[in-house]
Amino acid sequence: MIQTNEDHCGDLQFVFPEHFWWGSSSSATQMEGGAYKDGKGVNIWDYWYETEPDRFHHGIGPTQTSQFYEKYREDIQLMKATGHNSFRFSISWSRMFAKGVGEVNPKAVSFYNNVINELIKQGIEPFVNLYHFDMPLDMQKIGGWENRDVVKFYVNYAKSCFELFGDRVKKWFTHNEPIVPVECGYLYGHHYPALCDFQKAVQVAYHSMLASAEVIRVYKQLWQDGKIGIIINLTPSYARSAHPEDVKAANIADLLFNRSFLDPSVKGGYPVELVEFLRNHNFLPSFEREDLKTIKENTIDLLGINYYQPRRIKAKEHIPNPKAPFMPEQFFDYYEMPGRKMNPHRGWEIYEKGIYDILINVKNNYGNIECFISENGMGVENEQRFLDDDGCIHDDYRIDFFKGHLRWVHKAIEEGVNVKGYHLWTFMDNWSWLNAYKNRYGLVSVDLNRDGARMVKKSGLWFSKLAENNGF
């Protein structure tokens, strides 16, 4: 039972349930470094940086990133110091299997065994994600998620991970934010292969969901005794007004960006409206009848929710160019709400209540499935401005950001939402794809000019107290 400030908790205003998961999330490509070390194969980010380095902020690529590959013991000590009782990281498919298939890389197995064992030794439960935007290059050469064969290879990789690490890892995730490779890789050009092709985007999305269900099936067949889920970035689509055309536009955005992954993952099927939308525009994916049975029978146990900002939508103001590439924005415009609160550093709206709206939606429309906040954070550029003489960054804005969202998470719990934890993004400053180290998110700073030296920020000290008190 959640406690309130009336339950004799001292000065704490918001106290969370016992055994609440306090921690952070990360991904292999963004923190490991060692991109060409110890038998790791090339993934799409390594390749893209080799061929087009100018796309990356200040020309910084994935080669070194935050050096977790070498410094993981030091980092896990810092996780403990900042109050973590759980930590989500991803396994690099191309580190485990250099070409995506073949013989497993024993040095990769040793590395991930060491990380898992060290986390457990420090009292931090490992949550492991299997795919975080890092397709092995050889898999991409045959089409990546466009190619149905890649689903089969991905399942084999996942099965190996379950067999190698499943005795200690009890929370698994099939994908992180599966919409991102779809929209960034096949619509808007932020991820490799940087295409603009709606039909391919639909196929990639579909195969991602099929792969998720196939991996869940294998996990259950192995009689693993943990839970398996998916991490989805749910971005609530708010209509500008109650006008039917604004509401219709927001609903289309919700179908394409949220429900295309949430519904099959939790309910085992696609929204009828989404299927009709794709059929009406001749964009249904290629599929086999047996796929729908697989998706229906292999839903998740646990839902991870990433939340950063809302999506505000209004009806189209102008008729789209009928000869332009087919894009989601042909059906809606983005809307800037007057008076909105902004993160001026990142250019994103801060709307704390959005996290509550998501959780209530999960409770009311998705069976109140067990869930947790798997990412929530604030990116800020040039944080050195806030450095004191002792080398600590005073990121009070980040503490305020966390508090603002946690108040709404607490309210959702009070109202019966089955939310079990809060993981922020992220433990330490990491490499953020094309933005590289432009915006910093960490509880711990990483000094690129001093061999990646770590220093706990003010938010890290605050998070430690938050976890110790189980509230604030």
Reference 378, options 429, 343, 339, 341; nearest CA is 343
Q: How many Å is the Cα radius of gyration of the chain?
A: 21
Instruction: Calculate the dihedral angle through the C-alpha atoms of 128, 133, 135, 140, rounding to the nearest 10 degrees.
Output: 160
Q: Which residues contact 141 (CB under 8 A, 6 or more apart)?
A: none
CA of residue 61 relative to chain centroid, distance: 20
CA–CA separation, 71 vs 451, rounded Å?
A: 11
CA–CA separation, 253 vs 129, rounded Å?
A: 26
What number of other Cβ atoms are within 10 A of residue 251's Cβ?
19
For tokens 């809606």, what's the residue? 332
Q: Is 297 a catalytic residue?
A: no
Q: Is 177 a catalytic residue?
A: yes
In the set 32, 125, 183, 375, the catalytic residue is 375
CA–CA separation, 456 vs 327, rounded Å?
A: 43
In the set 146, 177, 214, 383, the catalytic residue is 177
CA–CA separation, 93 vs 140, rounded Å?
A: 12
Cβ–Cβ < 8 Å for 422, 376: yes
Here the tokens at position 289 are 């009848």
CA–CA separation, 249 vs 235, rounded Å?
A: 15
What number of other Cβ atoms are within 10 A of residue 306's Cβ?
21
Sign of CA dihedral 157, 161, 162, 164: positive
Active site residues: 177, 375
